[in-house]
Amino acid sequence: MTASETARPPQTIRRWAGPVALLLVTVAGVGAVLWGYFNPPDISVVQFDAGPISQWKSQRIVGFPEQRIYVVALSDGRLRALDTRIEATDCVAQWRPDDPRGVATNPDGLPGVFEDACGGGVWSMVGNAISGSDKPLRTPLVDARPDTQGRELRVWVELVNPDR
């Protein structure tokens, strides 16, 4: 045995660790891409026409029962949509316009609350939790855009997974 053969360290796992790690990371990355391609998320987004913007006056609340949303006109001119589907109870919150529980939290001290009859949750007219829940109602995106002829501004609400 020569001196050069004895000075050379024996082959260890370090020689193969780098290529094996690279191969594992590559396989995991390709697997993640293929998983995402063949298993897309079950999310649908629908644009809902809530009518002409001229109909919205301050403090007006309009319900759209088929979409399970309400659109609220705020005193500063903004519009807010409220998704009244409650995930925890699988129920839909109902608007109670004369309920005094909302006076302390509603804009301008107006009465009215959204109430979940199944779970007992109560929310203000702008969707903030009052009692029975610590989560506010979901607020879908509201946008004002011209109609298809470009003549009249209309209110559009973006609904996420409206069929659930």
The pLDDT of residue 72: 92
Residues linked to residue 145 through DSSP beta bridges, in sequence order: 154
Low-confidence ranges of the chain (pLDDT < 70): 1-11, 58-59
Model pLDDT, residue 29 = 96
Can you give the pLDDT at residue 8? 58
The model's pLDDT over 90-137, given as tens digits with 9 standing for 90+, comes to: 899 999 999 999 899 988 888 999 999 898 999 999 999 999 988 999
Q: How many CB atoms lie within 10 A of CB 4?
A: 7
Dihedral (C-alpha) 110, 122, 134, 58: value to the nearest 10 degrees?
A: -30
Q: Which two structure tokens, joined as six digits, stand for 3?
A: 């001196």
So what's the pLDDT on residue 122? 94
**Taking a C-beta distance cutoff of 8 angstroms, is the pair 89, 101 a contact?**
no
φ, ψ for residue 51, nearest 5 deg: 105, 175
